[in-house]
Structure 1
Amino acid sequence: MFTKRNFRSFKSLLPGVEMRPLAFEEKTILCEFKLEKGSELPSHSHPYEQTGYLISGRLNFRIDKEWIIAEAGDSWCIPENVEHQVDVLEDAKVLEAFTPIRPDYLPDENA
């Protein structure tokens, strides 16, 4: 799939956390996230490898037991089933890829 210009809308996942799928195929999905200052992604894990890049903003990021302040230009890769969480310190824009593909992040049939 090639996406020249994304036409999909953002959908709310949690208060202050919005996501839209950009491009996907059978094994990988690339998503854009908008995160509002003060919001949080609570501690969780999932069966997907997660690779991300922080375009703008600042995040207090925990991967397993290590806390890291992520700033624009930082990137990460979280293995499957590793616990992680995020506190949003400044409004942020993030790109993340997940493999295998996350069915819950696929666009609606009509979108």
Structure 2
Amino acid sequence: MTDRQNPLPWVETGGGVSRRVLSHTPEVMLVEFRFGPDGFGAPHHHPHIQATYVREGRFEFTIDGVAHIVSAGDTLIVPSNAVHSCRALEPGTLIDVFTPRRDDFL
């Protein structure tokens, strides 16, 4: 059973990106991100392990200085505390799993 039965509202995060928390427990969180044309997630890091699934679109992720081009159906893992960013090469949607939960998203 999750703490949330329904998704939280969409939140504009800047850079042409919005997110909504789909479900969460203290141990894990599922989040949907929408990227518009030229959407960009600035370089950052966090202690959470992040798994990303590309639902649609095409993206360039940079993780600890290494660029990765991903498209629909691809996945990647961002290790704990790795500096990473994401740039939409075309509009799209990412589904991210964080462990433990990102309390800053609530």
Same fold (TM over 0.5): yes
Aligned ranges 1:10-21 → 2 under 5 Å:
10-21=10-21
- Shift of residue 42 of structure 1? 1.3
Could you tell me which runs of 5 or more consecutive residues in structure 2 were left unpaired when the two chains were aligned.
Answer: none
Q: Aligned residues, how many?
A: 105
Q: Percent identity?
A: 32
2:39 and 2:91 in contact (8 A); partners too = no
TM-score (norm 1): 0.86
2:58 and 2:91 in contact (8 A); partners too = yes
Matched residue of 1:69: which SS? strand
The match for 2:60 is 60
RMSD: 1.5
Could you tell me which runs of 5 or more consecutive residues in structure 1 were left unpaired when the two chains were aligned.
Answer: 107-111
Q: 1:26 to 1:35 in 2, by over 3 A?
A: same
TM-score (norm 2): 0.90
Higher share of residues assigned strand: 2
